[in-house]
Structure 1
Amino acid sequence: MRLLKGARIYILLVIAVCCYAWYLTQKRFLIKHVLKLQTTDVRAKPNLAQLNKHHILDGKFADGSIKWTSNSEFDRIAETKNNVSWSSDESSWNFDNGNDTNPKRIYEWNETVVYQGLLPLVDQLDLNNDGSDNKPRIIFNRVGKCGSRSVLDIFRILAERNQFNMIESLVYTQKILPPEKEEMMAQVLSQLQAPYLFQRHMYHINFNYYGLKSPSYINIIRDPIARFTSQYYFKRFGDGFQQRTWTFNGTESEKYQTINDCVLNNKYECSQRRMFYILPFFCGNDPRCKYPTDWTLARAMENVRKDFKVIGLLEELHDTFLVLEKTWPTVFRGCVNLLMHPSKGQQLNRTAALTKAKEKPSPKVTAILKDQMALEYRFYNFVKSRFHALKRKLGINKSLRQTT
């Protein structure tokens, strides 16, 4: 018995030491990151057109900047004579999309290789382009379970019709970006040929921090409880896309547990920490954005005012499209008509995208969730008020909505 008791004490001591070591590591990283943000506002970094292929090292360039891609990838691209070539002065890559009268408009980007799919890049960074002309630069850092897949179907059609570049990331799970990845994304997105729309599940990037002009951000959010409910059942049963091979990481009883039982039994999946989801998309990649604090809310609101030209509501998707069409007519012209008069294929996709087997939270559970999601609702109401003010400014009223 004494040996067993001693073993338990020993195990607890080991666990305590490990936890303390982890805490010190995280604290040191956070302090280092915060000091870095406070002492450095802008960093001059080379753009893609200035990268010299003869200076590539294993992991970094000779000047110490981050490595954009592998030597083998540069060699593979350089050998594709019909698509890309090294310029005569050895200062940039030249890209050829083929037939200029019918250029490619939709690109898929594997971010592990910068030039995968031959992104439509310009030779020089256009630091004066703020997207206010006829060549908007738009980032749709879409929030999960807010109807974005149905919206993207429409955006893809518009890319072909209205002749803008649409870049779609093939990375679906990495929402928070480490510093090196964030910097690479900022550099690449700043050198895409405008007009363009880039879509990805990711947290806000502060382009000004890297000495770059920020593109215009857009997003669509929804009532936090409705979003959480949709995500809860989506994890268990997926949606109507039959090509998905769906698995749930849990027991059979946990899979069929209703959201009401999950909340009332205080399961970890329905704890307050797990309900904090929307705010980080607008707060950014700062480590502090992971935590539900007043600082996170304030930073998110600040970024919205600074960089997000339009944040619509899924509950008011028609009006959201009206706002987009009025704000960037060269890009979103015709989006309202496509929403109101979908093709048969679009109708099937919208039906398939609906999460299966949803059960609404009871009034008691709804009250608990609202209390636990207090910060999310403060942000949601802020966005909602801002969106309604934008509609009034653009003259979007009831009569216009009915006749459109």
Structure 2
Amino acid sequence: MDTVFFNRVPKVGSETLIELMKQLSDINGFTLFREKQPKAILVTLGPIQQLQLAEDIADLEQPAAYVHHVNFINFTHLEVPRPIYINMVRDPVERVISWFYYARAPWVQAQRQRNFPSVPGPKVQWLKKDFESCVRNGDKECNYIENSDLEHVSDHRRQTLFFCGHSRKDCMPFNSERALQIAKRTVESEYAVVGSWTDVNVTLTVLEHYIPKFFKGAHQIYHTESGGLASNTNPLKPHVSEEIKARVRANFSREIEFYEFCRQRLHKQYLALRLDSNLNY
């Protein structure tokens, strides 16, 4: 299938990549499709929902790129033509801090009120909570317990979930060895590229050379117009001390291992390209 499927992880800088793909679509002649804005992000689907989404993506006019907040869907097992999978990852602790403040941002709360007008909004005390106090006080929201289940629909501490899949038993327990190994195998066997903005030039180079039909010219656009690319940053996010980050990292051991695994794989892809063609990036 001549379709890129970006099953984007929240809070990894995906808006920047989407804006880059939007500009590349005009240059490289493909159509960029995005999921309709959902009222709530539901990333874990049932078998029928997975099949429906896979068939909808397969029916897109090609060449196409499709973007959706959703866990990995195995098109092959569903007997649907397989797309070109891509994704991005981010340091898990930085990501969970970003999500903590994003969920409290005024524009996010305003959208929540529009989407769910009959549901009472959060208490002012919750909105004003800061991450450091949350961790120091042992609040449930910031108490990352290994093998704990999903706390609520907005519990986005599991980056591995987007690569592990839709099994509650195998993929939902937080920081579990099982979810880690499944996610690693999926990345290795299914994903063309899993990038990271921590390694921006490496990511752009690998995208350009592994998926040239879609990403040719990515370097030039990014470095020429990066100031105009969407980033979805939160100016209200305060500084978090390294002490608190270290305390949280102790509970994210396997999530961190997965993140480093993806970065190592990305750098191996980049090194292979340099050895083959003497790239100067």
Report the TM-score, using the length of structure 2 for normalisation: 0.85
Structure 1 distance, partners of 2:185, 2:73, is 13
Q: Which amino acid aligns with 1:164?
A: F
CA contact (8 A) 2:201 2:219 kept: yes
1:214 to 76, 82, 93: 82
Structure 2 distance, partners of 1:361, 1:373, is 17
Map residues 58-97 of structure 1 onto 2, 5 A cutoff. none
Deviations 1:258-278 (A, max 9, x none): 211001111121121556320
Structure 1 distance, partners of 2:156, 2:22, is 31
Q: What is aligned with 1:400?
A: 280
Q: What is aligned with 2:62?
A: 194
2:195 to 294, 312, 317: 312
CA contact (8 A) 1:238 1:246 kept: no
2:158 is equivalent to residue 277 of structure 1: yes
CA contact (8 A) 2:202 2:267 kept: no
Q: What is aligned with 1:39?
A: none
2:133 is equivalent to residue 267 of structure 1: no
Deviations 1:70-124 (A, max 9, x none): xxxxxxxxxxxxxxxxxxxxxxxxxxxxxxxxxxxxxxxxxxxxxxxxxxxxxxx
**CA 1:238–1:380: 2 relative to 1, 3 Å:** farther
Q: What is aligned with 1:72?
A: none
2:260 is equivalent to residue 378 of structure 1: no
CA contact (8 A) 1:279 1:376 kept: yes
CA contact (8 A) 1:138 1:216 kept: yes
Structure 1 distance, partners of 2:278, 2:102, is 34
Map residues 5-404 of structure 1 onto 2, 5 A cutoff. 129=1, 136-172=2-38, 173-237=41-105, 245=111, 249-272=121-144, 273=148, 274=155, 276-288=157-169, 289-292=171-174, 293-342=176-225, 346=228, 349-350=230-231, 353-395=232-274, 400-401=280-281
Identity %: 24
Q: 1:213: Cα distance to partner?
A: 3.5
Deviations 1:47-68 (A, max 9, x none): xxxxxxxxxxxxxxxxxxxxxx
Structure 1 distance, partners of 2:218, 2:188, is 25
RMSD over aligned CA atoms reads 2.5
Q: Which amino acid aligns with 1:208?
A: T
Structure 2 distance, partners of 1:330, 1:218, is 14
Structure 2 distance, partners of 1:308, 1:343, is 25
Query: How many corresponding residue pairs?
Result: 261
Structure 2 distance, partners of 1:330, 1:167, is 16
Q: Which amino acid aligns with 2:46?
A: P
Structure 2 distance, partners of 1:180, 1:147, is 30
Q: Which amino acid aligns with 2:105?
A: F
Q: Which amino acid aligns with 1:266?
A: G
Q: Which amino acid aligns with 1:253?
A: Q
Runs of 4+ in 1 over 4 A off after TM superposition: 244-249, 396-399
Q: 1:249: Cα distance to partner?
A: 4.4
Q: What is aligned with 2:116?
A: none
CA contact (8 A) 1:238 1:356 kept: no
Q: 1:318: Cα distance to partner?
A: 2.7
Unaligned runs of 5+ in 1: 1-128, 130-135
Q: Which amino acid aligns with 1:223?
A: D
Give 3-state SS (helix, strand or coil) of 1:236's partner: coil
Q: 1:191: Cα distance to partner?
A: 2.9
